[in-house]
């Protein structure tokens, strides 16, 4: 283990403002992409069902 | 081997198959990411030159790799779609583009966040950074071009041409650090040579790359399923899939 405490871990040797946004933005993109695809898939199924029943 | 690969090359058979594959790739991505992040932050030692800022490479390098790999795969699918006039191949190309664009953006932004503390600047117009920015524009151009053309088959052909022309940019990105005198460092991992980095750092980076690979396959399959439904919502296979009998069947 590299860190003596959680504070030290979050501080990232003074580089916290560079390290955490890098990983945070990546996580945000993943969450956004998956949610957007879930929504798109639901909408596509709904429209297909609507068209099929006409 | 008697597998009929063409059986899976039509939307009606590929749609359910993709649906069954998604959870496997999604869960592998989660497992690789959890282990990869643990090694990245808890086990990999502090870099003696860059301090903790170097940990950005655990997301930057795999994202940059993916941005290039996805482009190559996308261009290959687009080419197959163009040559064989196969609609599923064109849909695969279309499904990969947004994920490729996201990884390119992440490579650029995380690179910038690494560059500021290490080089002292957010951005320089050096060959590596500029060609990676061009890659982002190629992805966005591909997406915009496909969206601008109403007829999907014509959109596929136009997109395929753009994707194929743009592929010249990939070797430029990859070899830019060798061909020109760039601020961006040369590659740390070279084929045929021992990597110039600590084993735990290398393992963390490779695990994160694997996680990104699995993630990419999972989201591309999710997206290709959406594209299939959107393009062929009136097709009989969609009705069968939804469990709705066609009007002919009722009478």
Residue of B nearest to A13 (CA): B52
- Is the Cβ of B242 closer than 8 Å to some Cβ of chain A? yes
Cβ separation of A49 and B219 shorter than 8 Å? no
Residue B207: CB partners within 8 Å, gap ≥ 6?
B32, B33, B35, B36, B39
Instruction: Say whether B47 sits in a helix, a strand or coil.
Output: strand
Give me B145's structure tokens: 């071009």
Residue B149 · residue B155 · CB < 8 Å: yes
Residues 152-171 of B with CB under 8 A from A: none
Residue of B193, B167, B247, B211 lying closest to B33 (CA atoms): B211
Q: Which residue's structure tokens are 């136009």? A: B158
Tens digit of each residue's pLDDT (9 = 90 or more) over B180-195: 877 887 777 665 666 6
Mean confidence (pLDDT) of chain A:
91
Residue of B73, B42, B77 lying closest to B201 (CA atoms): B42
Cβ separation of B219 and A18 shorter than 8 Å? no
Query: What's the pLDDT score for residue B251?
Result: 40
Cβ separation of B226 and A40 shorter than 8 Å? yes
Share of chain A above pLDDT 90, in %: 65
Q: Which residue's structure tokens are 């779609």? A: B81
Give how far the C-alpha of residue B51 lies from the chain's centroid of Cα atoms, to the nearest Å.
30
Choose among A13, A25, A37: nearest Cβ to B222: A37
Those residues of chain A whose CB sits closer than 8 Å to some CB in chain B are 1-3, 9, 12-15, 18-19, 21-23, 25-26, 29-30, 33-34, 37-38, 40-41, 44-45, 47-49, 51-53
Q: How far apart are CA B145 and CA B156, in angstroms?
A: 9
Tens digit of each residue's pLDDT (9 = 90 or more) over B138-155: 999 999 999 999 999 999
Of A36-40, B44-48, B132-136, least confident by mean pLDDT is B44-48
Cβ separation of A22 and B53 shorter than 8 Å? no
Give me A48's structure tokens: 């297909």
Residue B153 · residue B160 · CB < 8 Å: no
């Amino acid at each position: 283990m590299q860190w003596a405490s959680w504070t030290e871990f979050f501080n990232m040797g003074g580089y916290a403002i560079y390290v955490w946004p890098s990983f945070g933005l990546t996580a945000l993109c993943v969450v956004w992409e998956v949610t957007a695809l879930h929504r798109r898939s639901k909408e596509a199924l709904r429209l297909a069902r609507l068209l099929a029943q006409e | 081997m008697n597998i009929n690969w063409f059986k899976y090359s039509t939307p009606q058979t590929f749609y359910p198959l993709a649906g069954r594959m998604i959870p496997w790739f999604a869960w592998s991505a989660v497992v690789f990411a959890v282990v990869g992040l643990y090694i990245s932050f808890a086990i990999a030692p502090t870099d003696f030159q860059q301090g903790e800022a170097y940990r950005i490479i655990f997301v930057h390098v795999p994202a940059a790799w993916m941005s290039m790999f996805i482009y190559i795969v996308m261009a290959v699918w687009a080419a197959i779609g163009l040559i064989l006039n196969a609609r599923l191949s064109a849909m695969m190309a279309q499904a990969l583009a947004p994920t490729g664009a996201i990884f390119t953006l992440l490579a650029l932004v995380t690179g910038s966040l690494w560059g500021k503390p290490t080089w002292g600047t957010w951005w320089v117009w050096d060959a590596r950074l500029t060609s990676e920015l061009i890659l982002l524009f190629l992805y966005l151009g591909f997406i915009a071009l496909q969206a601008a053309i109403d007829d999907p088959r014509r959109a596929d052909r136009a997109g395929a041409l753009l994707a194929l022309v743009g592929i010249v940019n990939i070797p430029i990105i990859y070899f830019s650090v060798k061909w020109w005198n760039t601020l961006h460092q040369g590659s740390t991992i070279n084929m045929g040579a021992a990597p110039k980095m600590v084993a735990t750092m290398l393992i963390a980076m490779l695990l994160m790359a694997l996680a990104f690979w699995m993630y990419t396959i999972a989201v591309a399959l999710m997206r290709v399923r959406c594209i299939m439904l959107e393009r062929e919502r009136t097709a009989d296979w969609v009705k069968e899939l939804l469990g709705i009998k066609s009007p002919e069947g009722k009478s």
